[in-house]
Amino acid sequence: MAPRLRGLNALITGASDDAGRAAALRFAREGANVFLADRSLDAAARVAAQVAAAGRKSGATAVDVAVEEQVDAMVERAVGELGGIDILMVADAVMHARYPGGSNPNYRLVDEPLADWRRVMSYNLDAYFLTGRAAARAMIRADRGGRIINYLSVAALSAAPRAGDYSVSRAGAWMLTKVMALELAPYRIRVNAIAPGFLNSNMSREYYAGAPGRLAAVLKRVPLGRIAESDEMAEAALFLASDESAYFTGQILQPNGGLFMQ
């Protein structure tokens, strides 16, 4: 079978995160060229080197995705080095300030400093707007359609205890996904999201380590009895990036092990 992304160019933010790295390598195996961006240039460059080793064109840059000028420059550089952007995957987010539980397991929104709230919103909502906007503009200019994939969380659909800012930011990014899907459909740009459940990832491991027995409690909630691997999320991203999802837009995939059946 021919590679599903042959000849396409992808930009992925959050290269140091398990999800971003796994998607980049999966896309490369399916024929895509991949440009990587991350707050850490070293992290982005390491993944770019793996993409290049797979025989694909690659590039890397450091970016703060909450800063408009840096996001615009990132997209411009990706277009210049790859020759265009066909696929965008936004996977650069932050955990809320008290998410692991830590010293205050009863933390509430009413206790939250405005600075913490704004930090979470800037990376988990503003960054999705800035990155999606810049990439969509490039796709519209190129006039060859495109795919935008917003990597979110189960918190986009269900309020997470002691993580109100995280839940609100993820829910906002889900609404952003739907609005962009409506507005970009005339340009043949599809916009979808992924809302993973509990994962074996950098961010999630910090959460599990926040309290004794937390991972065991999580496993009891998941009908499949395990947490997911980032490679499994990469398969969902590949589906949304490929022509197999040609009639999907404004949708959210929920690979969560059956979490919401209960």
Q: How far apart are CA 65 and CA 52, in angstroms?
A: 24
| C-alpha closest to that of 181 among 190, 168, 194 | 190
**Structural tokens at position 40:** 């850490």
What pTM was estimated for this model as a whole? Answer: 0.93
Closest CA to 221 of 182, 257, 180: 257
Q: Other CB atoms closer than 10 Å to residue 36's CB: what's the count?
A: 30
Looking at residue 103, what is its pLDDT?
46
Give the catalytic positions in this structure. 166
Q: Right CATH number for 9-246 from 3.30.465.10, 3.30.930.10, 3.40.30.10, 3.40.50.720?
A: 3.40.50.720
Q: For residues 43 and 20, what is the distance between their CA atoms, to the nearest angstrom? A: 11
Please tell me the distance from the alpha carbon of residue 67 to that of residue 123, in angstroms, as a whole number.
9
Look at residue 60 and give its three-state secondary structure: strand
> Which value, to the nearest 10 degrees, does the dihedral of the CA atoms of residues 136, 138, 141, 143 take?
-70
Are the CB atoms for 163 and 155 separated by under 8 Å?
yes
236: tokens are 């969902």
Tell me if 64 sits within 8 A of 90, measured CB to CB: no
Torsion angle of the four alpha carbons 186, 242, 7, 182, in this order, in degrees rounded to the nearest 10 = 20
Per-residue pLDDT tens digits of the chain, which is 262 residues long: 679 999 999 999 998 888 999 999 999 999 999 999 999 999 999 999 999 999 999 999 999 999 999 999 999 999 999 999 999 999 988 876 555 444 456 678 888 889 989 999 999 999 999 999 999 999 999 999 999 999 999 889 988 777 889 899 999 999 999 999 999 999 999 999 999 988 887 777 777 776 778 888 888 888 888 988 999 999 999 999 999 999 999 999 998 888 877 5
